[in-house]
């Protein structure tokens, strides 16, 4: 009986986490849509902005980005292609491994990130304040 209650509580907690994630994702998509972005687009821009600010390295390999934004390789490749088409990122061959691709923010991408970052952070603050 106690094991069943513990299991139900665990499953309920998991479902609460999923629901909070879904609500937050939808709210981010709504807030960012006015800037021509969705939550995943912004997440890639944010990761690229953080990497260049943190260690001076202006780019990440696609594989490194996928580990940070939790998208499949193919979904991330399509997203990066769309961001590149919009002039927000640039792809180039990885000098240390010519099979790899590096992605970096363009000036336009950095400017848009700076404009939209406060919007995204405000949504996160509002949605996650109560945990």
> Average pLDDT in the 99-124 region?
93
Give me the pLDDT at residue 57, please: 56
Q: Is 91 helix (H, G, I), strand (E, B) or coil?
A: strand
Report whether pLDDT(98) > 60. yes
Query: Do 28 and 123 form a contact (C-beta atoms < 8 A)?
Result: yes
H or E stretch covering 118: helix 107-128
Task: For residues 107 and 99, give the distance between their C-alpha atoms in angstroms, rounded to a whole number.
Answer: 26
More confident residue, 31 or 61: 31
CATH architecture label of 2-128: Orthogonal Bundle (1.10)
Please state, as a whole number, how many other Cβ atoms lie within 10 Å of the Cβ of residue 17: 11
Give me the pLDDT at residue 99, please: 72
pTM assigned to the model:
0.86
């Amino acid at each position: 009986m106690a094991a069943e209650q513990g299991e139900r509580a665990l499953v309920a907690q998991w479902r609460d986490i999923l629901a909070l994630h879904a609500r937050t994702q939808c709210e981010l998509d709504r807030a960012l849509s006015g800037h021509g972005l969705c939550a995943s687009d912004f997440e890639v821009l944010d990761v690229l902005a953080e990497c260049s600010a943190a260690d001076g390295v202006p780019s990440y390999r696609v594989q490194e980005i996928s580990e940070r934004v939790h998208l499949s390789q193919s979904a991330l490749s399509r997203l990066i292609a769309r961001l590149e088409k919009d002039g927000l990122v640039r792809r180039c061959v990885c000098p240390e491994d010519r099979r790899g691709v590096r992605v970096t923010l363009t000036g336009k991408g950095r400017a848009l990130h700076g404009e939209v970052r406060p919007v995204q952070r405000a949504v996160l603050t509002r949605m996650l304040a109560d945990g």
